[in-house]
Amino acid sequence: MTASLTLISHHLCPYVQRAAIALAEKGVPFERVYIDLADKPDWFLKISPLGKVPLLRIPQDEGEAILFESSVICEYLEETQPGAKLHPADPLTRARRRGWMEFGSAILSDLWIYETTQDAEVLETKRGVLMAKFATVEAELVDGPYFAGADFSLVDAVFAPIFRYFDVFDTISEAGIFDNLPRVAAWRKVLAARASVKAAVTEDYPERLIAFLDKHNAALLRSRRAAA
Ligand SMILES: N[C@@H](CCC(=O)N[C@@H](CS)C(=O)NCC(=O)O)C(=O)O
């Protein structure tokens, strides 16, 4: 029996989630190993060139291969694994999709500041930046239900973990980021209901995210406390 792939993970990492979603969409069995990024184990530091998750451990005839960087992992899975195709065949369309995957990563960089800042003004500025980025996405969406229409793709795998943050943030305070973005709002809803998306995190994800905000004394969390 062939040993399965292993995804080195962190419970909250959106980049890990995109790889987990791609694996699930393709129906590839895999194991998950969670590490504490605040106390990275030595074995992890030895195999992770950037000290970041995700990593994908791929058993070889002798030893194993290790991939780092979520987009690289997703592209490798697309090229090697059977199951649903998550990229289009046409090179130009595929390249454009990769661009939107990068756009998702840019949103994640903004989100990191949005969720960790202790400064209410920075929070508000980032809220505007995020709204502008999602407005750009709104203009790109057409018929749905997914980014590119009927079929789930890697762009969906990138955006589902982004939207998941807001499912928790909305329980803290309504930031109204998607209020005037009906296509994005509908896309967000469809992605949240997708089995691969649900399975990409553990059930305690919301509590873990709130604890993370608390640990950072996040302005986002204080906005609820101020309102309460
Ligand atoms: N560009 C990387 C980003 C991965 C990343 O930022 N992972 C974070 C957790 S979400 C991490 O491992 N951070 C640990 C650190 O930077 O020390 C990818 O796409 O895989």
List pLDDT tens digits, range 183-211. Answer: 999 999 999 999 999 999 999 999 999 99
Output the pTM of the full model.
0.96
My answer on whether 130 and 220 are in the same domain is yes
pLDDT of residue 167: 97
116: pLDDT confidence band, cut at 50, 70 and 90? very high
Same domain, 18 and 63: yes
| pLDDT over 90 percentage in the chain | 93
What pLDDT is recorded for position 175? 87
Instruction: Decide if pLDDT at 91 tops 50.
Output: yes
Least confident segment among 71-80, 133-142, 148-157, 171-180 = 171-180
Q: How far is the CA of 106 from the centre of ligand 1 (A)?
A: 13
Ligand 1 site residues (CB inside 6 A) read 10, 13, 15, 37, 51-54, 69-71
| 104 and 75 within one domain | no
Query: Is 38 in the same domain as 139?
Result: no
Question: What is the Å distance from ligand 1's center to 13 Cα?
Answer: 7
C-beta atoms surrounding 93 within 10 Å: 13
User: For the chain, how are helix, strand and coil distributed in percent, rounded to 5?
Assistant: 60, 10, 30
Q: Nearest C-alpha to atom 6 of ligand 1 is from which residue? A: 52
Give the residue, by CA position, lying nearest to ligand 1 atom 10.
13
For residues 113 and 24, state if they share a domain. no
Helices 91-116 and 154-172: angle between axes, nearest 10 degrees? 20
CB 13 within 8 A of CB 69: no
Phi, psi values for residue 157, rounded to 5°: -65, -30
Strand-pair category, 30-34 with 5-9: parallel
The residues, ordered by sequence, that sit 6+ positions from 69 with a Cβ below 8 Å of its Cβ are: 50
Residue 51 confidence (pLDDT) above 90:
yes
The verdict on 100 and 18 lying in the same domain is: no
Q: Whose CA is nearest to atom 15 of ligand 1?
A: 52
Q: Which of 33, 50, 80 is the last residue of a domain?
A: 80
Q: What is the mean pLDDT of residues 6-18?
A: 98
pLDDT tier at 224 (50, 70, 90 boundaries)?
A: low
Number of structural domains (the chain) is 2
Q: From the alpha carbon of 12, which atom of ligand 1 is closest?
A: 10
Mean pLDDT (the chain) is 95
74 assigned to active site: no
pLDDT at 225 over 90: no
Question: Which among 5, 8, 12, 13 is annotated as catalytic?
Answer: 13
Q: If you average pLDDT over residues 90-112, what whole number do you get?
A: 98
Question: Which 8-state DSSP code applies to residue 149?
Answer: B
Convert the pLDDT of each residue in 149-179 to its tens digit: 999 999 999 999 999 999 999 999 888 999 9
**How many angstroms does the Cα of residue 15 sit away from the middle of ligand 1?**
7
Cis peptide before 145 (omega within 30 of 0): yes
Q: What pLDDT, on a 0 to 100 scale, did the predictor assign at position 1?
A: 44
pLDDT score for 33: 98
Residue 61 predicted with pLDDT over 50: yes
Is residue 227 over pLDDT 70?
Answer: no
Query: Which residue lies with its CA nearest to atom 1 of ligand 1?
Result: 69
The Cα-based distances of 64 to 14, 52, 108, 143 in angstroms read: 25, 18, 30, 42
Does residue 222 surpass a pLDDT of 80?
Answer: yes
Rounded Cα–Cα distance for residues 175 and 2 (Å): 47
Check whether residue 165 and residue 117 sit in a common domain: yes
Tracing tokens 């399975």 back to the chain, one arrives at 199
Task: Pick the atom of ligand 1 nearest to 69's CA.
Answer: 20
Domain edge (last residue) among 38, 60, 80: 80
Contact criterion met (CB below 8 Å) for 47 and 33: no
